[in-house]
C-alpha cells in the first residue's frame, strides 16, 4: 500500500488574507527525497497535496481535515514509448490565484465567480532525451481540478495515448451513485446505488456520498481527447483509475504536443444538495472567442411532434401513422404562438425514416422533406406566427454520412430561419464500431458545434458525448440528452423509469450540464399502445421538473391537445429557461429535491420540489426572496389523493401572499412535486 511520506519541502499555496503562505522556491534537485506541495481552496476547506516521491507524482485531497483521496498516482502511458510517470524532477512551481467573475450568455446564474488558487508544476524526466510534463492544479471552494499539459518539446511530438494513469484512491468506501460505462445504451441507464467498491467501470459524473460529505468526479473541457470513465482495476477495492474510452482499435487518443488533457474534476461539498450550486465545470472551460456572433443564441421553450410517436399514436416512418405532416406542424405552431413557447420541433420531417431505420446504415436526407410535410410552408407559417421551427437531424449514429451533408443541412436551416437543431445518434456504436464517447465522436461533435455556430444554429444533441462545460466556450451548445429521459416512459415497451429517477439525475448527470429530459407530461392515460408504461410522477411533479432539471432549451413534451385549456399549463408558460440566480435548497439523492431560481429578466422566483415514490412533507424557508418584498405565490401542488400510479393528474392551484423569510409547508405525494411561482407585488 502506498503511504504518504513526511514532507521535506512544503510549498503552501492558498488564499489567505496575508497573501501567500510559506515560500514558492522552485526545486531543481534530482534527489529521491520526497517533495511535497500544498494547495488550498480560497475558503481553506479543501487541501490538495502533491508529492514527488521516488521521482513519481501523486496527489491527495482532504476536505475540512477529512481525507477524500489517499495518495493517488499521476501519469500517462503511450503506445510505442515508455510511460511518462517515473524519473521525474520538478523544474518550476508557479502559484497563482484568481478572483474574478464572468457572465455566461445563459445559465443557472447571471454571474459566475471564478475564484481559485492554482499551482503549475513544470517537470522533466531525469534521463536522456527527457520529456517535459506540466501539471496544473486548481483549488476552488467547490472542488479541485487538475490537468496534464504536454508542451511542445524536442523529444515528444505525435503520440498515441494508450492509457491515462490518473488514479482516484478514495479514502473510504463511499456510497456511490453511478451508471455503468461500455454498455449499448450509452448514458441511458437508471443509476445504480452501491458501495464504491462494487463499481466495475462507471461513467462520470460519479457521485459519492457519506455523512457530511458529497463528492463528484467528472471532467471539464473535453476537447480532442477521449472521455474519461472510472474503472475499478483492483476489483472490489476503492481506487478508481481513469479509463479513456478507446477507438475501435484500442488506442485511446491520437494527439501531438503541445496539448492539454481535459481537467479532471473533484467537486466536494458538505452535502449532496450543495453540489448542485457548483460552477466548477464551467469555470474550467475557456470563454468564447471574442469575435464570435452570439446574438442568435436564446434560451427558450419548445414543443414538438415527438411524444405522440413515443406513445405509439404516431410513427416516424412515412405512411398512415406518419407524425410529421404539414397540418400537424401547423397545429403545433398555432399552440406555440398562443403561449410562451419559442420553437416547434418536427421529428420525422425529412426523408429516410422508412421501417427500422436504426437497424441499417443511415438513409436520411438532411435537406429533403418527406411527402406530406411542406417544410417551406411550415417554416413560413412559423415565421408569420413568430415561432421558430426547430431542426432535427437523426443520424442513426452514422457520423461520416452526416458530415457529408452537414454543411448543406445547416445552410438549409439558416435559410428557413431555423436557429436550433436537435440531433440524435441512435445506435449502439458510431459508424459501426466506434464508441459514442471516444475521441472519434468528441472530434465529430466538435465539428458539429462549430458548423452549427457558423450558420447561427443552437445545438440540442441526443446520444452524444457527455457535457463537460464546453457551452461556456461554445454558447450555442445549449443542452443535450445523455440521460435516460422521458422517452423511456413512452417508447420503451416495458422499462419505464422509476419514480426516484428524477431525484437522482440532478445530483449525478445534472452536474455535467443542462439536461434535455423533456418534462411536462399532462396526460397520463396513454396505455392504449403502451399497456405497461406510465410516467412515474404526478402532474405537479412534471411542472416542478422545469425548475429542478436545468436546461436552457426546455421541452413541453406532451401534445398540444393535452395542454389546451389546461390551467396547469400556466406554469409552463411562466417558467423561464434562463436564470439570474439558482439555489439548491434541500435534497437527498434519490429521495427529494427543492430548488429555487430567479428569472434572469424579472424579479420573479420559481421553486420546484420533487419527491421519489415516498410521500413527504417539507418545510421551505423563503429566505431566497428579496427582504421586505411581498410576493404573490402561485402554487401548483399535488392534490391530497394524488399518487403517481393511481391518480397522477390530481393537482391543485393555490394563491397566497408571502414575504421573504416566511416558511411554507409542502406536502408531496408519492411521485409528487410542487411548482411555485413568486411574483413581486408592486
Span near a second copy by CB under 8 A; candidates 146-154, 193-201, 342-350, 380-388? 193-201
Q: Which of 115, 501, 583, 597 binds a second copy (CB under 8 A)?
A: 501
Cβ neighbours for 612, distance < 8 A, ≥ 6 positions apart: 499, 500, 503, 590, 591, 592, 671
The count of other CB atoms within 10 Å of the CB of residue 589 is 25
Q: Which is nearer to a second copy, 238 or 253 (CB)?
A: 238
Span near a second copy by CB under 8 A; candidates 43-51, 97-105, 177-185, 297-305? 177-185
Does the protein bind a second copy through residue 195 (CB under 8 A)? Answer: yes
Does the protein bind a second copy through residue 641 (CB under 8 A)? Answer: no
Name the DSSP letter for residue 19.
-
Give the x-and-dash track for 216-255 against a second copy (CB under 8 A).
Answer: -------------------xxxxx----------------
Contact 358, 398 (CB under 8 A): no
Q: Which residues of 249-274 are buried (b: 16+ CB within 10 A; e: fewer)?
A: eebbbbbebebbbbbbbbbbbebbbb
Least separation in angstroms between CB 185 and a second copy: 5
Least separation in angstroms between CB 528 and a second copy: 14
Does the protein bind a second copy through residue 492 (CB under 8 A)? Answer: yes
Pairing of strands 263-269, 477-480: unpaired
Instruction: Give me the residue label for grid cell 481537467.
Output: 263
Q: Which residues are catalytic?
A: 487
DSSP conformation letters of 140-158: ETTEEEEEEEE--BTTB-E
Does the protein bind a second copy through residue 527 (CB under 8 A)? Answer: no
Q: Which of 111, 198, 525, 654 binds a second copy (CB under 8 A)?
A: 198
Q: Which of 132, 283, 497, 537 binds a second copy (CB under 8 A)?
A: 497
Q: Which of 80, 356, 494, 665 binds a second copy (CB under 8 A)?
A: 494
Contact 89, 130 (CB under 8 A): no
Q: Which residues of 537-548 are buried (b: 16+ CB within 10 A; e: fewer)?
A: bbbbbbbbbbbb
Nearest to 272 by CA among 166, 181, 190, 193: 193
Q: Using CA atoms, how far apart are residues 106 and 117, in angstroms rounded to an integer?
A: 26
Does the protein bind a second copy through residue 337 (CB under 8 A)? Answer: no
Q: Using CA atoms, how far apart are residues 256 and 246, in angstroms rounded to an integer?
A: 17
Contact 481, 549 (CB under 8 A): no
Question: What does the longest C-alpha to C-alpha distance in the chain come to?
Answer: 78
Q: Which of 59, 187, 191, 579 binds a second copy (CB under 8 A)?
A: 191
Does the protein bind a second copy through residue 62 (CB under 8 A)? Answer: no
Q: Which residues of 521-534 are buried (b: 16+ CB within 10 A; e: fewer)?
A: bbbbebeeebeebb
Least separation in angstroms between CB 558 and a second copy: 21
Name the DSSP letter for residue 257.
S
Q: Which is nearer to a second copy, 507 or 546 (CB)?
A: 507
Does the protein bind a second copy through residue 179 (CB under 8 A)? Answer: yes
Pairing of strands 300-305, 343-346: parallel
Least separation in angstroms between CB 39 and a second copy: 24
Does the protein bind a second copy through residue 356 (CB under 8 A)? Answer: no
Least separation in angstroms between CB 449 and a second copy: 28
Q: Which of 34, 180, 446, 680 binds a second copy (CB under 8 A)?
A: 180
Q: Which of 79, 175, 385, 667 binds a second copy (CB under 8 A)?
A: 175
Q: Using CA atoms, how far apart are residues 681 and 630, in angstroms rounded to an integer?
A: 6
Instruction: Give me the residue label for grid cell 406542424.
Output: 329
Least separation in angstroms between CB 273 and a second copy: 18
Cβ neighbours for 567, distance < 8 A, ≥ 6 positions apart: 653
Does the protein bind a second copy through residue 207 (CB under 8 A)? Answer: no
Q: Which is nearer to a second copy, 129 or 184 (CB)?
A: 184
Does the protein bind a second copy through residue 312 (CB under 8 A)? Answer: no
Least separation in angstroms between CB 35 and a second copy: 24
Does the protein bind a second copy through residue 487 (CB under 8 A)? Answer: no
Q: Which of 107, 300, 323, 496 binds a second copy (CB under 8 A)?
A: 496
Nine cell digits for residue 360:
441499417
Q: Which is nearer to a second copy, 161 or 589 (CB)?
A: 589
Does the protein bind a second copy through residue 347 (CB under 8 A)? Answer: no
Least separation in angstroms between CB 60 and a second copy: 13
Least separation in angstroms between CB 237 and a second copy: 5
Alpha helix (H) ranges present in 43-160?
none
Cβ neighbours for 530, distance < 8 A, ≥ 6 positions apart: 311, 312, 490, 493
Q: Which is nearer to a second copy, 188 or 467 (CB)?
A: 188
Give the x-and-dash track for 65-84 against a second copy (CB under 8 A).
Answer: -----x--------------
Q: Which of 48, 124, 196, 397 binds a second copy (CB under 8 A)?
A: 196
Name the DSSP letter for residue 449.
H
Does the protein bind a second copy through residue 433 (CB under 8 A)? Answer: no
Pairing of strands 263-269, 213-220: antiparallel
Instruction: Give me the residue label for grid cell 443542452.
Output: 479
SS (H, E, C) 450-474: HHHHHCCCEEEECCCCCCCCCCCCC
Q: Which of 8, 498, 639, 653 binds a second copy (CB under 8 A)?
A: 498
Does the protein bind a second copy through residue 495 (CB under 8 A)? Answer: yes
Span near a second copy by CB under 8 A; candidates 119-127, 192-200, 326-334, 650-658? 192-200
Alpha helix (H) ranges present in 535-627?
539-548, 560-563, 569-574
The separation between the first and the last C-alpha atoms of the chain, rounded to the nearest angstrom, is 65
Least separation in angstroms between CB 230 and a second copy: 15
Does the protein bind a second copy through residue 44 (CB under 8 A)? Answer: no
Least separation in angstroms between CB 64 and a second copy: 16
Q: Which is nearer to a second copy, 170 or 349 (CB)?
A: 170
Size of site (CB under 8 A) for a second copy: 43
Nearest to 302 by CA among 279, 331, 336, 330: 336
Does the protein bind a second copy through residue 595 (CB under 8 A)? Answer: no
Does the protein bind a second copy through residue 185 (CB under 8 A)? Answer: yes
Sign of the dihedral defined by the CA atoms of residues 426, 507, 195, 501, in that order: negative
Does the protein bind a second copy through residue 528 (CB under 8 A)? Answer: no
Does the protein bind a second copy through residue 1 (CB under 8 A)? Answer: yes
Does the protein bind a second copy through residue 617 (CB under 8 A)? Answer: no
The backbone torsions φ and ψ at residue 379, rounded to the nearest 5 degrees and listed phi first, read -65, -40
Least separation in angstroms between CB 595 and a second copy: 24
Q: Which is nearer to a second copy, 202 or 409 (CB)?
A: 202
Does the protein bind a second copy through residue 613 (CB under 8 A)? Answer: yes
| Torsion angle (degrees, nearest 10) of CA 458, 460, 461, 466 | 100
Footprint of a second copy on this chain (CB under 8 A)?
1, 70, 169-173, 175, 179-180, 183-185, 188-198, 200, 211, 235-239, 492-498, 501, 532, 613, 645, 670
Amino acid at each position: 500500500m502506498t503511504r504518504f511520506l513526511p514532507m521535506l519541502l512544503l510549498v503552501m499555496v492558498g488564499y489567505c488574507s496575508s497573501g501567500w503562505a510559506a515560500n514558492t522556491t522552485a526545486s531543481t534537485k534530482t534527489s529521491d527525497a520526497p517533495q511535497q506541495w500544498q494547495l488550498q481552496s480560497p475558503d481553506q476547506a479543501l487541501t490538495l497535496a502533491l508529492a514527488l516521491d521516488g521521482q513519481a507524482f501523486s496527489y491527495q485531497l482532504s476536505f475540512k481535515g477529512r481525507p477524500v483521496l489517499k495518495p493517488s498516482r499521476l501519469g500517462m502511458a503511450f503506445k510505442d514509448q515508455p510511460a511518462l510517470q517515473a524519473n521525474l524532477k520538478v523544474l518550476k512551481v508557479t502559484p497563482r490565484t484568481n478572483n474574478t467573475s464572468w457572465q455566461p450568455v445563459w445559465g443557472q446564474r447571471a454571474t459566475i465567480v471564478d475564484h481559485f488558487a492554482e499551482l503549475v508544476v513544470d517537470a522533466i524526466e531525469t534521463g536522456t532525451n527527457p520529456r517535459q510534463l506540466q501539471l496544473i492544479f486548481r483549488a476552488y471552494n467547490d472542488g479541485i481540478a487538475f490537468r496534464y499539459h504536454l508542451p511542445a518539446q524536442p523529444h515528444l511530438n505525435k503520440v498515441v495515448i494508450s492509457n491515462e494513469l490518473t488514479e482516484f484512491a478514495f479514502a473510504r468506501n463511499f456510497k456511490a451513485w453511478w451508471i455503468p460505462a461500455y454498455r449499448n445504451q450509452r448514458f441511458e441507464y437508471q443509476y445504480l446505488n452501491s458501495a464504491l467498491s462494487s463499481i466495475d467501470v462507471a461513467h462520470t459524473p460519479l457521485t459519492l456520498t457519506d455523512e457530511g460529505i458529497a463528492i463528484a468526479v467528472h471532467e471539464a473541457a473535453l476537447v480532442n481527447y477521449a472521455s474519461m470513465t472510472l474503472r475499478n482495476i483492483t476489483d472490489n477495492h476503492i481506487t478508481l483509475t481513469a479509463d479513456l474510452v478507446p477507438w475501435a482499435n484500442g488506442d485511446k487518443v491520437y494527439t501531438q504536443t503541445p496539448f492539454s488533457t481535459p481537467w479532471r474534476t473533484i467537486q466536494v461539498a458538505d452535502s449532496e444538495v450543495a453540489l448542485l450550486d457548483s460552477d466548477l465545470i464551467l469555470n474550467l472551460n475557456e470563454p468564447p472567442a471574442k469575435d464570435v456572433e452570439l446574438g442568435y443564441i436564446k434560451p427558450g421553450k419548445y414543443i414538438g411532434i415527438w411524444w405522440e410517436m413515443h406513445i405509439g399514436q404516431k410513427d416516424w416512418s412515412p405512411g398512415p401513422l406518419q407524425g410529421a405532416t404539414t397540418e400537424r406542424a401547423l397545429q403545433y405552431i398555432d399552440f406555440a404562438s398562443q403561449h410562451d413557447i419559442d420553437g416547434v420541433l418536427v421529428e420525422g420531417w425529412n426523408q429516410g425514416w422508412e421501417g427500422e431505420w436504426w437497424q441499417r446504415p443511415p438513409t436520411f436526407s438532411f435537406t429533403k422533406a418527406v411527402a406530406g410535410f411542406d417544410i417551406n410552408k411550415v417554416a413560413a407559417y412559423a415565421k408569420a406566427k413568430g415561432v421558430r421551427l426547430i431542426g432535427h437531424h437523426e443520424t442513426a449514429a452514422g457520423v461520416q454520412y452526416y458530415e457529408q451533408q452537414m454543411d448543406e443541412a445547416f445552410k438549409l436551416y439558416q435559410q428557413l430561419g431555423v436557429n436550433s437543431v436537435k440531433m440524435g445518434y441512435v445506435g449502439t456504436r458510431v459508424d459501426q464500431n466506434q464508441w459514442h464517447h471516444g475521441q472519434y465522436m468528441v472530434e465529430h461533435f466538435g465539428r458539429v458545434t462549430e458548423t452549427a455556430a457558423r450558420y447561427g444554429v443552437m445545438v440540442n444533441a441526443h446520444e452524444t458525448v457527455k457535457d463537460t462545460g464546453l457551452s461556456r466556450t461554445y454558447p450555442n451548445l445549449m443542452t443535450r440528452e445523455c440521460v435516460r429521459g422521458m422517452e423511456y416512459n413512452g417508447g420503451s415497451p416495458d422499462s419505464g423509469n422509476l419514480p426516484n429517477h428524477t431525484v437522482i439525475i440532478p445530483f449525478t448527470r445534472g452536474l455535467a450540464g443542462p439536461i434535455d429530459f423533456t418534462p411536462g407530461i399532462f396526460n397520463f392515460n396513454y396505455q392504449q399502445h403502451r399497456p405497461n408504461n406510465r410516467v412515474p410522477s404526478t402532474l405537479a411533479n412534471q411542472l416542478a421538473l422545469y425548475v429542478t432539471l436545468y436546461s436552457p432549451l426546455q421541452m413541453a413534451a406532451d401534445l398540444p391537445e393535452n395542454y389546451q385549456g389546461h390551467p396547469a399549463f400556466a406554469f409552463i408558460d411562466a417558467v423561464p429557461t434562463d436564470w439570474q440566480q439558482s439555489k439548491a435548497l434541500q435534497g437527498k439523492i434519490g429521495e427529494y429535491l427543492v430548488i429555487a431560481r430567479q428569472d434572469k429578466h424579472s424579479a420573479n422566483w420559481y421553486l420546484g420540489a420533487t419527491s421519489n415514490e415516498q410521500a413527504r412533507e417539507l418545510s421551505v424557508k423563503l429566505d431566497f426572496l428579496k427582504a421586505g418584498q411581498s410576493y404573490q405565490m402561485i402554487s401548483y401542488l399535488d392534490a391530497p389523493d394524488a399518487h403517481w400510479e393511481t391518480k397522477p393528474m390530481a393537482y391543485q392551484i393555490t394563491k397566497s401572499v408571502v414575504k421573504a423569510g416566511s416558511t411554507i409547508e409542502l406536502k408531496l405525494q408519492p411521485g409528487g412535486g410542487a411548482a411555485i411561482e413568486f411574483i413581486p407585488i408592486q
